Structure 1
Amino acid sequence: MNKQLFKNIVKSYDYPLIIAVWMLAIFGLVMVYSSSMVAAVTRYGVASDYFFQKQKMWLAASGICFLITMLVPYKVWMGKKVIQGIFFASPILLIAVAFLGHTANNATSWFKLGFFSIQPAELVKLSLLIYLAAVFANKQKKLAEPVKGQLFPIYYTLWICFLIAIQPDFGTAMIVLLIASCVILSSGLSFRLLWKQLLFFMMVAAVVAPVSLPFIWDEIFSPERLSRFYSFVNPFKYADDEGFQLVNSYLAIGLGGLKGLGLGQSIQKYGYLPESHTDFIIAVIAEELGLFGVAFVLLLLAFIVLKGFMIARKCNDAFGSLLAIGISSMIGIQTFINVGGVTGLIPITGVPLPLVSYGGSALILFMTSLGIMVNISMFVKYEAKYKHKEQHVDHAKKPLKRGLTF
């Protein structure tokens, strides 16, 4: 590689974005230790740093993934073999987990691999984004035409969401659908075709629902799911059971105030706040570091999301633009759902806070995705700043035609 070319590439990386990602990931590692040390000993009977050590290993693995995807040109992911692999592997993984997966919290969503567990649905999120971005990028010239064949990616998305929902994991299925919808709506697909398809789905639902509802009523309206709704509507009325998590989340946030009680000084993590190191980690951050700690996390996440949308807007390549939109939407949507559940704005769905909550599958997903977004950003900046200069130099080196010489 030309030395000047290498220097230009290094200069083109979005270092504020890289720093923001690593600041959140390292901050999350610290907060996982602080929020899990009591639960590790009292609830799980392991060493106080058990979850910290596991998260540290996951951060190292996800850091390697981040570095690889940051360096590999993002267009590699739209290769024919990659897309075909994603197309077939994603549903196979989701079907396999139903037969070979580990059941926890009444859902068979995990592959147990020794000391580690991997959730295929988390990995499928990024795979689906890559698939949708590649398919719609290849069809850019035809998307404005209302051709029915263009709807196949939507059917595939619904198939993936269905396979996740039957685990059952309705929360993740809904998130995947929302993220995919952001890519689909940004792709340039004919709105006329989308409206027609939506009306068709509504008609099918009107016919199928009365027939199928008696068979799935107990699953959809199970006591566990209804309890989440009750605790959302009036958590203090059910503070001893269904509303226990949300009420203690409120207490943690209230105790923290502006400056917090101090790092490691949370009271609610002493058995009062279940899942303090996973879904409710932002409540512990609020209690220990106060409003300033929460603002630090949310501002960094907002910065990453807005950066992603800016990258998508500047990118001249449809695949890169749609992929950046999808990754930014994924982080933004999951942040809203996590914080919304912890603060009682929406029902609790059990979604981790991006880059901060404990969990290997989610951390690898986010770090890998953000590595791709950093690479897209690098190409955007490189093309804007150096590409035209290199073309100018190449043009100057070419010998003039004889007819133009004097």
Structure 2
Amino acid sequence: MLQKLKFYDYTLIITPILLAAFGLVMVYSASMVFAVVQGHAANYYLTQQSIRFGMGLIGFILCSAFPYRYYQKLIKPIILGVILLLIGVLLFGSEVNNAQSWILGIQPAEFAKLAIVMYLASVYSKKQEYIREFSKAVLPPLIITGIILALIVLQPDIGTASIVFLIACSVIFSSGIRFKHLSLLLFIGLMFLLMTLPYMATDERLTRFTGAYQPFETPASHGYQLIQSYVAIGNGGLAGEGLGQSVQKLGYLTEAHTDFIMAVVAEELGFIGVVIVIGMLSIIVLRGLFISRKAKDSFGSLLAIGISSMVGIQAFINLGAISGLLPITGVPLPFVSYGGSSLLVLLISMGILNNIAMHIKKRELEPAGENQNTRDISQAYRGGRTWHNLNKSTKY
């Protein structure tokens, strides 16, 4: 056990756990007044988030120890389970904030993010020999991706659907497909968007655009949330008003502990606090991309890219919403915002990413003979062969 400690990627252990722990502090600060107004104890949301944090830590530890290559054998039940949960949401789910996205106390759409990363990484890693053939390699996995996207859009949860779509694009782009095939996929996506536009372009969703780009024309309605975010950010200045001293969270800034928690961070901890949070998120994303570059097998590389993209895309959309760069879509800030399903999935993802990093470091520190065995295994995966076709003397 002690020997394994040298293989851990401590950047991917310390950074996300510190960020999630910081999130607990900010969730408590941003939600205590709101909780009391709702009739709960002041620490109600802190308690709920702490429970998910504990579950996430367990998931992180287990996934750090579980060899990531075995997910390829589990991909069918994983993707089937997510699809069934998404269907269950539409049939039996509960509605929160005008979206029917909850069932059994979880949001299956959050788990769909990680599932689609695993699925596409697994499929495209097996198709590397003919990845440049559109109908044989590129197109078939898009059917499952389209089904998952459609089920999320029907909730309707456009924010999460956008994230899943962008994550899928990042994995597909990184898989090595031809540029003209990528252009074709973008064209198909644009046509799909135009076809579904009458359904998605409801009055409520259109007001999100006017609220984002013309907030001061409707300061009491559609632009109210963004204006209060601006006030919070402006109040913070360089060093902030002090932890727990936010004024905007006292009923002015709605969803202060979820979508707009960064506005509370800005008000209480100032520009310095914002830079630290963004810096830690950037470390996670860049570390994941570095791991994807170092991985010797296609599955590990694509899996690392997908997980990094998931964190980076979600952070960008959240920060874009609170700053008026993007419409408000209800996307939480990774690791920091209140949201049990999101935090659980993110910590599990970090465990998987850490396991990929551990295998890379183990390969680098092993003697040359054992490194050759690992390369043989990687080549077997790239060639589409299974574990059982390998020489029995090969050790993993």
TM-score by length of 2: 0.90
Q: 1:39 aligns with which of 20, 34, 48?
A: 34
1:90 and 2:78 correspond: no
Measured in 2, the distance between the counterparts of 1:365 and 1:276 equals 22
Which stretch shifts more, 249-258 or 89-98?
89-98
The alpha carbon displacement at 1:22 in A equals 0.9
Gap regions ≥5 residues in structure 2: 373-396
Secondary structure at the aligned position of 1:58 is classed as: helix
Q: Could you tell me which residue of structure 2 aligns to residue 323 of structure 1? A: 303
* Cα deviations by residue, 1:259-313 (Å, 9 ceiling, x for unpaired): 0000000000000000000000000000000011111110000000000000000
Measured in 2, the distance between the counterparts of 1:234 and 1:316 equals 49
1:302 and 2:270 correspond: no
Q: Is the 8 A contact 1:147 1:193 kept in 2?
A: no
1:76 and 2:56 correspond: no
Within-5 A mapping of 1:125-274: 125-148=113-136, 150-199=138-187, 209=195, 217=198, 219-274=199-254
Secondary structure at the aligned position of 1:76 is classed as: helix
Amino acid paired to 1:188: G
Distance 1:204 1:296, change over 3 A: closer
Amino acid paired to 1:229: F
Q: Could you tell me which residue of structure 2 aligns to residue 25 of structure 1? A: 20
Q: Could you tell me which residue of structure 2 aligns to residue 396 of structure 1? A: none
Distance 1:267 1:306, change over 3 A: same
The alpha carbon displacement at 1:391 in A equals 6.1
* Cα deviations by residue, 1:4-48 (Å, 9 ceiling, x for unpaired): xx5443201111221001110100001000010011112x11111
The alpha carbon displacement at 1:220 in A equals 2.3
Measured in 1, the distance between the counterparts of 2:229 and 2:166 equals 26
Distance 1:297 1:198, change over 3 A: closer
Distance 1:204 1:13, change over 3 A: closer
Measured in 1, the distance between the counterparts of 2:164 and 2:370 equals 41
Q: Could you tell me which residue of structure 2 aligns to residue 401 of structure 1? A: none
Measured in 2, the distance between the counterparts of 1:85 and 1:137 equals 18
Aligned Cα root-mean-square deviation (Å): 1.8
> Aligned pair count?
372
Q: Is the 8 A contact 1:8 1:386 kept in 2?
A: no
Q: 1:102 aligns with which of 94, 97, 107?
A: 94
Amino acid paired to 2:14: I
Measured in 1, the distance between the counterparts of 2:371 and 2:126 equals 26
Distance 1:12 1:310, change over 3 A: same
Q: Could you tell me which residue of structure 2 aligns to residue 340 of structure 1? A: 320
The alpha carbon displacement at 1:147 in A equals 3.9
Secondary structure at the aligned position of 2:325 is classed as: coil
The alpha carbon displacement at 1:119 in A equals 0.4
* Cα deviations by residue, 1:40-98 (Å, 9 ceiling, x for unpaired): 112x111110000111111001110011001111111111xx11112322221111110
Q: Could you tell me which residue of structure 2 aligns to residue 400 of structure 1? A: none
Which stretch shifts more, 150-159 or 196-205?
196-205
Amino acid paired to 1:135: V
The alpha carbon displacement at 1:248 in A equals 0.4
* Cα deviations by residue, 1:215-235 (Å, 9 ceiling, x for unpaired): x73x42322112111111211
Q: Could you tell me which residue of structure 1 aligns to residue 46 of structure 2? A: 52
Measured in 2, the distance between the counterparts of 1:201 and 1:177 equals 9
The alpha carbon displacement at 1:202 in A equals 5.9
Q: 2:5 aligns with which of 10, 16, 32?
A: 10
The alpha carbon displacement at 1:191 in A equals 3.1
Measured in 2, the distance between the counterparts of 1:317 and 1:254 equals 47
Measured in 1, the distance between the counterparts of 2:169 and 2:41 equals 43
Q: Is the 8 A contact 2:89 2:102 kept in 1?
A: yes
Which stretch shifts more, 138-147 or 299-308?
138-147
Measured in 2, the distance between the counterparts of 1:38 and 1:309 equals 39
Secondary structure at the aligned position of 1:118 is classed as: coil
The alpha carbon displacement at 1:178 in A equals 0.3
Q: Is the 8 A contact 2:363 2:371 kept in 1?
A: no
Measured in 2, the distance between the counterparts of 1:330 and 1:37 equals 29
Within-5 A mapping of 1:340-359: 340-359=320-339
Q: Percent of pairs identical after alignment?
A: 49
The alpha carbon displacement at 1:201 in A equals 6.3
Distance 1:385 1:147, change over 3 A: same
Within-5 A mapping of 1:349-388: 349-388=329-368
Q: Is the 8 A contact 1:90 1:124 kept in 2?
A: yes
